[in-house]
Amino acid sequence: MHHHCCFSLALWCLGLSLRCFFSLFLQCQYWKKASDPNCDSERHTLYVEWARFLRFYKEQPLDLIRKYYGEKIGIYFAWLGFYTEMLFLAAVVGLICFLYGLFTMDENMSSKEICDPAIGGEIIMCPLCDRDCEYWRLNTTCEPSRYSHLFDNVATLFFAIFMGIWVTLFLEFWKRRQAKLKYEWDLVDFEEEQQQLQLRPEYEAKCTQKKKNPITQVMNVLYPCYPQVSLIIASMIAVIVYRLAVYAAFASLMENTQTLEPISGLLTPQLATSVTASCLNFVIIMILNFFYERIAIWITDMEIPRTHMEYENRLTMKMFLFQFVNYYSSCFYVAFFKGKFVGYPGDYTYMFNRWRNEECDPAGCLIELTTQLTIVMAGKQIWGNIQEAIKTSCAEIFHLSASGSTICLVPPRMLSKGQILTLFFLSLAVIQFGFITLFVASFPLAPLLALMNNILEIRVDSWKLTTQYRRPVAAKAHSIGVWQEILNAMAILSVVTNAFIVAFTSDMIPRLVYYYAYSENDDSPMSGYINNSLSVFQISDFPPGKKPKENPEDFVVCRLVYRDYRYPPDHEREYTHTMQFWHILAAKLAFIIIMEFFVAWMIPDVPADVKAKIKREKYLTQKILHEYELEKLKERLCQGDKQATEKEFIATEGRMELSRAM
């Protein structure tokens, strides 16, 4: 009897717990209207008008987002929406530049000469690796050279300058939009919340030292900086060692390349290797990104930041730096290092005296950079959407159906806390911003891909926030915080990187130098460019052990695989750079300087209307001072000191005229 009563009591308690559990989670039925007709459900309104993809053409309800989720999340969606709006112009211009390359592809003289059997078919190129690689004919790269014109043309130069102006305008206009939101949301006099400025409990618990504040004369707790410095140095060394290992692995991929005969149309073995390496690199990036996020949090926790705001800023910087190295290092390598320090057939450059420095695709380095950028950028966006689909499917496993309606059974601890949602959301958007600004000269379609992704991303993020996450504690914020400084730094860096891509990665400057200075054909100035850009090498000058194993007897002379300007064999300065090389180098450096100053001139630091207001304020100040001094002079005139007063009056008039002239 006693056991029966205990069992009944246990069943009753279990039923009561389940009843409370179900009644609690029935509140997550965001797809239903509020039971009270006089009180609308804000979450339901957000779900219907904001979180559905079919509402992508509608403007975001920023005021309602701010009211329900707080200013911090509201400012994120305001920034993402404004960024997407600005992307529309960049996407249109990028598409026009791409179409220009597409329509002029058949008129490109360089690819015509490469594909011509009488020109490219007669040029024998040096092997791409030692001993195992064969000689090859230049016309085997016919199709890749034609398609490289899509991104390596005159429009590339225009688009690089345009994006330098666009990114500056974007940041300036965002500051204006942010100021408007700050006023509308009553954040003009906002100071950081006291909660953000309070000491973190973890900091107070682990601090072992105290130091007197020279201002307040109060003893404050202090954490020694030695552990922080050692952690930062260790993390930097780890990232550098990892990237060197990846570089060595990729640099050795071409050692066993046997031939350059096309596999199928556009695809050559070296381009196939580049695509494969880019895909492998993308997989490594995704794996390391998973660990980098956790390492950044771990290092920040180990540093024991003093306040909540300091913790968030430090975590933001670490996550960005990790992701910057992780996502962009391969693109920086292809753009500015690959194929730049390879030497020439008689004196190749080797890494650690073992691996010959990697060379670009015969069609040029720009097509490889485009391949790398496309795979990493598009793959990141596709993988992010796949991740969201997987997470959603896994979450639905915990859903049950009761009385014909779905009941949310995901425990709150399994849902994101929402405290650092904006940090992760903004980090993804800023990394994308880097792709479309730092390397956009190599891929004009990048803004279009970003635009399409962001239209989807706004709805996906809003859907996740409305349906998958529990409502975060509202937090105030008048800006996107430290991300603003990161965006400013990336904007400055983007002008430099795009200038260097056009100058050193693309073939634009050598073509222009040949067109204006070295072409001897007035009817077709670009004819003969391919022969002009190649140098001659004597096979007998190969160092011992470097000559290909299979060496046809009729091959005596071959040409360098890459554009280079060196004197031929038997010349008194054989294999040294010609004067044309130095002319091209000077033109490249001049272009970089001109582009930097042109963009700086197009976008002044102080707008014209602000300059006018500053001058107006100075004028009014001088006018007020002048009127004040005149009043004093009149008073002194009334007192009888006429001669001295007249001198002061003349001096005052002179100062006034001088201020007007200024």
pLDDT for 406 equals 42
| Mean per-residue pLDDT, 137-154 | 84
Q: Write the CA distances from 461 to 385, 428, 469, integer angstroms.
A: 11, 12, 10
Question: CA 71 to CA 190: how far, in whole Å?
Answer: 12
Strands 219-222 and 355-356, by their bridges, are unpaired
Q: Is it the case that residue 641 has pLDDT exceeding 70? A: no
Residue 222: which pLDDT band, with cuts at 50, 70 and 90? low
DSSP 399: -
**Higher pLDDT among residues 18 and 379, named by residue:** 379
Average pLDDT, the chain: 75
By mean pLDDT, which of 25-34, 178-187, 234-243, 417-426 is the weakest? 25-34
Residue 89: which pLDDT band, with cuts at 50, 70 and 90? very high
Query: Which residue, chain included where needed, has tokens 């279009």?
Result: 448
Q: Which residues of 594-615 are buried (b: 16+ CB within 10 A; e: fewer)?
A: ebeeebeeebeeeeeeeeeeee
| Mean per-residue pLDDT, 530-534 | 84
Specify which of 34-48, 310-324, 410-424 reaches the highest per-range mean pLDDT. Answer: 310-324
Residue 611: which pLDDT band, with cuts at 50, 70 and 90? low
**Higher pLDDT among residues 451 and 338, named by residue:** 451
pLDDT tens digits for range 249-294: 555 544 444 444 544 555 566 667 778 888 888 888 888 888 888 8
Residue 479: which pLDDT band, with cuts at 50, 70 and 90? confident
Query: Which residue, chain included where needed, has tokens 């329900």?
Result: 68
Question: How close are the terminal C-alpha atoms of the chain, in Å?
Answer: 104
Q: Is it the case that residue 86 has pLDDT exceeding 90? A: yes
pTM of the entire structure? Answer: 0.76
Nearest partner of 211 among 200, 219, 201, judged by Cα: 219
What is the phi/psi pair of residue 406, to 5°? -75, 135
Specify which of 4-18, 299-313, 395-409 reaches the highest per-range mean pLDDT. Answer: 299-313
Helix (H, G, I), strand (E, B) or coil at 581: helix
**CA atoms within 13 A of residue 379's CA, in its CB half-sphere:** 17
Question: CA 422 to CA 592: how far, in whole Å?
Answer: 37
pLDDT for 23 equals 41
| Mean per-residue pLDDT, 394-423 | 47
Specify which of 223-227, 374-378, 398-402, 640-644 reaches the highest per-range mean pLDDT. Answer: 374-378
**Higher pLDDT among residues 3 and 95, named by residue:** 95
Residue 87 burial class via C-beta count within 10 angstroms: exposed 0-12, middle 13-18, buried 19 and up: buried
- Copy the structure tokens of residue 238: 């780890």
**Higher pLDDT among residues 424 and 489, named by residue:** 489
Q: Are 80 and 458 in contact (CB under 8 A)?
A: yes
By mean pLDDT, which of 102-111, 184-193, 366-375, 598-607 is the weakest? 598-607
DSSP 141: G
Residue 400: which pLDDT band, with cuts at 50, 70 and 90? very low
Chain centroid, CA 410 distance in Å: 35
Residue 32: which pLDDT band, with cuts at 50, 70 and 90? low
pLDDT for 26 equals 44
In angstroms and rounded to an integer, the radius of gyration of the C-alpha atoms of the chain is 33
Rounding to the nearest 10 degrees, give the CA dihedral for residues 207, 210, 211, 216. Answer: 90
Chain centroid, CA 56 distance in Å: 24
**Higher pLDDT among residues 390 and 651, named by residue:** 390
Question: CA 294 to CA 285: how far, in whole Å?
Answer: 14
The length of the chain is 662
Q: Is it the case that residue 87 has pLDDT exceeding 90? A: yes
By mean pLDDT, which of 28-37, 121-130, 331-340, 547-556 is the weakest? 28-37
**Higher pLDDT among residues 549 and 530, named by residue:** 530
By mean pLDDT, which of 399-413, 440-454, 497-511, 623-637 is the weakest? 399-413
Question: CA 431 to CA 488: how far, in whole Å?
Answer: 13
| Mean per-residue pLDDT, 390-396 | 61
By mean pLDDT, which of 82-86, 243-247, 410-414, 449-453 is the weakest? 410-414
Nearest partner of 503 among 338, 328, 335, 332, judged by Cα: 335
What is the phi/psi pair of residue 432, to 5°? -65, -40
Q: Is it the case that residue 421 has pLDDT exceeding 90? A: no
What is the phi/psi pair of residue 210, to 5°? -135, 150
Q: Which amino acid is at 648?
A: E
DSSP 40: -
By mean pLDDT, which of 240-254, 546-560, 572-586 is the weakest? 240-254
Q: Is it the case that residue 50 has pLDDT exceeding 80? A: yes
Nearest partner of 346 among 535, 117, 579, 193, judged by Cα: 535
pLDDT for 256 equals 46
Q: Is it the case that residue 646 has pLDDT exceeding 90? A: no
Give the angle subtended at the CA of 438 by the CAs of 181 and 162, to the nearest 5°: 75
Give the angle subtended at the CA of 453 by the CAs of 449 and 457, to the nearest 5°: 165
State the DSSP string of 124-186: EEPPSSSSSPPPEEGGGGHHHHHHHTTTSSHHHHHHHHHHHHHHHHHHHHHHHHHHHHHHHTT
Specify which of 353-362, 365-374, 561-570 reaches the highest per-range mean pLDDT. Answer: 365-374
State the DSSP string of 191-247: ---HHHHSBPHHHHHH--EEEE-TTT--EEEE--SHHHHHHHHHHHHHHHHHHHHHH
Nearest partner of 369 among 506, 253, 531, 573, judged by Cα: 506
Q: Are 50 and 61 in contact (CB under 8 A)?
A: yes
DSSP 483: H
**Higher pLDDT among residues 584 and 242, named by residue:** 584
Q: Is it the case that residue 47 has pLDDT exceeding 50? A: yes
Chain centroid, CA 401 distance in Å: 44
Q: Write the CA distances from 413 to 129, 294, 470, integer angstroms.
A: 56, 18, 10
Residue 657: which pLDDT band, with cuts at 50, 70 and 90? low
| Mean per-residue pLDDT, 471-490 | 82
Q: Which residues pair with 219 in a beta bridge?
A: 212
Query: Which residue, chain included where needed, has tokens 């008048």?
Result: 478
Chain centroid, CA 319 distance in Å: 14
Question: CA 408 to CA 386: how far, in whole Å?
Answer: 22
Q: Is it the case that residue 591 has pLDDT exceeding 90? A: no
**Higher pLDDT among residues 230 and 428, named by residue:** 428
Percent of the chain whose predicted confidence (pLDDT) is above 70: 68
Question: CA 145 to CA 365: how far, in whole Å?
Answer: 11
